[in-house]
Structure 1
Amino acid sequence: MPDTTAHLPPATPRKPFYRQLYVQVLVAVVIGVILGYLSPRYAVAMKPLGDAFISLIRMVIGPIIFCTVVTGIAGMRDMRKVGRVGGKALLYFEVISTVALFFGLVAGHVFHPGTGFDVDPSTLKSGEIGNLVAQGHNIESIQFVLSIIPTTFVNAFAKGDVLSILLVSVLFGCALAAIGERGKPVYDVIEAGAQVFFKIVHYITGVSSIGAFGAMAFTIGKYGVVSLVPLMELIGSFYVVCILFVVLILGIVARIAGFSIIRFCGYIRDELLIVLGTSSSEVVLAPLMRKMEDLGCPKETVGLVVPTGYSFNLDGTNIYLTMAILFIAQALNIDLTLQQQITVAIVGMLTSKGASGVAGAALVMLASTLSVVPVVPVAGMVLILGIHRFLGTGLAMTNLVGNGVAAIVVCAWERELDRTKLDAVLSRR
């Protein structure tokens, strides 16, 4: 019989359960919730712990995206393959993102989370969302497209804008591949640099439980559990819809690609729990890429697909946009026509491309989308400002699963997926 373990990662001794990262993060999240409920004042003071962790991760996100995208493109050598992989990835992103938008629209009509609120639009105070509206208008304009182009090469990393970094990385990778062997020393340096940055992320991830504790304690302490009761229907229905999308839509996609979505979610449980605590999928970009490689996906394809997916494959964000708009419309007793709902979906598909993995970006996307559908007042966003953090956690977790599935699907589409390794790793207990 052939040896099915030949391509598996080297075995490591199993850690005691209390040293498992997902256990530490889960315990930290629970402690954060308890502290937030019992002592809101002290819980809010824990916010710097979560902010510091996210800042540490975001500090290395730019270099990691640059190194992985450049080595991914240059490592392929064949520029036609780069175009083919990129084209397939973008096609997949657009199809699944569109499905997510309409999935959210259908769910909004099924659950009717805003029905019964009967809010008078004239009583809404929009002072809190003025800045978001301004950012939303910027997204609509041509300035948003131009802002993707950095003023200097280094400025892309200084801003930390994912789309700008992707643009610089793709150009650099294509140029490096074009000059052939003369670029080999540069390629080796960048590849070695990637290993260094991944190691830094490994160190930072080791204290992710502290960051998750700080972020969760602040969230519960700031907004409180009791204040969520009137909006629990929206929160509950949103999470149900996200779970259904993952199980049904991504589950079907995963089955076609030849793996189980449930086992895959179990495989990335560490990353999912870190996102649960921090409400940001950016913090697990590097660990997710490593796990995709361990799962049998080629490094070059992962390095191109996953970072791109963080800007173009935001399934959770799309569900959030459509459900939030329908919730506001229902709460204000506004009936949207079919044409207006389709307009919302199309605009949402465009504006979501400006959101990276940080949950707060979704509010700006929502402001931009609402400004195109004037029948729903942008001031209605004030109804969900208090619970956005909780919704943001669900959308970030959905985005994470969606990008992991995308990497596997594109690798399978390219016939590069090591299925023996995939089956063996996912079937491990």
Structure 2
Amino acid sequence: MRIHRLELINFRNFEHTILDFSERFTVLVGDNGTGKTAILDAIAISISCLFCKFDNFKDLERKFSDDDVRQVRYKKGQTPTIEPQYPVVFDCTAVVDGAEIAWERKSQLVDRVDSGENNEQLEQTVSPNIVNISEQIQEKVRRGEDILLLLIAYYGTGRLWLQNKEESVETIKPGSRMLGYVNCLDPTSNPNVLMRWLKTMEIAALQRGESILVLDAVKTAIANCLEDCQSVRYDILEDELITTFNDGRILPFRMLSDGFRNIFGMVADIAYRAAVLNPQLGRDAAQQTSGIVLIDEIDLHLHPKWQRRVVDDLKKTFPKIQFVATTHSPFIIQSLREGELINLDKPAGIEEYENKSIEDITEYVMGVEIPQRSERYQKMMEAAQEYYRVLQDAKDAPPERIEELKTKLDELTMPYSDDPAYHAFLKMEREAAGLGRDKQ
């Protein structure tokens, strides 16, 4: 599956919006509060329809909540009112197994006749075609067919991938391929299931005396996305996931930096889900599994040099996955190709950013004026300009206004009194204008 278009009506802060997504990677940018995370949630709610007919996994389906309904505020007299707007509608267009399909999720108020009384109740509906696809997938899995299951995952800003050394990591028994969907749309992260699977596969490899191909797939994916990583393994004696680096360092997962744990945990989790969902692919599970992965703030905890490469690393490691991510990083934007950016501040703009400077991206895409200079420097310049305007006014000012102008000059220079050169220069200009010494 690849999502092409999503239309939102009355969802959170969106009255009506249509979004078109790149087939490989789409990054959402915009000021805080523009709805970047809301769009990821909307995609998650839309694609979770696929779980509606899965055995024992129906609870993975995400439905509309009261907080998802757009609220409009009115003022009637002196009383503010808040009115929810219905219906809430998602229209999703995607390609599934090479064929384009569209489905709708809707939450609306309907009249129900109960005991002779009319009651308005909320009703949530899903188009029957996506329900049929869910039934077909489950039936093929029951029959043991080698159907390629779609990978779905959502990584929110709460992903810390923390591991407690004192926690015992238990092995797991074989189960349904559908276990690859457990907690897949929960934006928070818990490495426990991943660690249990890795430990189980390492023990199985030792017991059988041969490589476990899906375990190799996960290890290769991790190594591809971790800078200077030589190898990873679950050490049975130490009962920990261990990383060996090219410079000889050997560190357990729990002792890696936040940036390393962020990428390590996310990549390992995607590869692990691919291996569980499609074990028939063996060593090619990560490369051949298709799906949709949502990442909120993809630059979270990453050094700028890693921010520049993370998009290409994920594309290379998971070539059939469609990624939709959010960011506040100009380095992420700089790594994008044409059509891979949705700017919620400037929705009409479409261009390639790969060869643009960080300064141009920061100023013209992200709206930060003169990024080459600090905000303090810009405010000092603005204060200096205003200072000179006040000095000009003082030349023709009547005596009764002089004290007022002196006070204004004091206010302009006070925030920058810690800069001796700046402060001294403005004081000289002031004395030359005959307005006396600065107040202390």
Q: TM-score, normalised by structure 2?
A: 0.21
Pair member with larger Rg: 2
Q: Which has the higher contact order (CA 8 A, sep 6+)?
A: 1
Structure having the larger proportion of residues in strand: 2
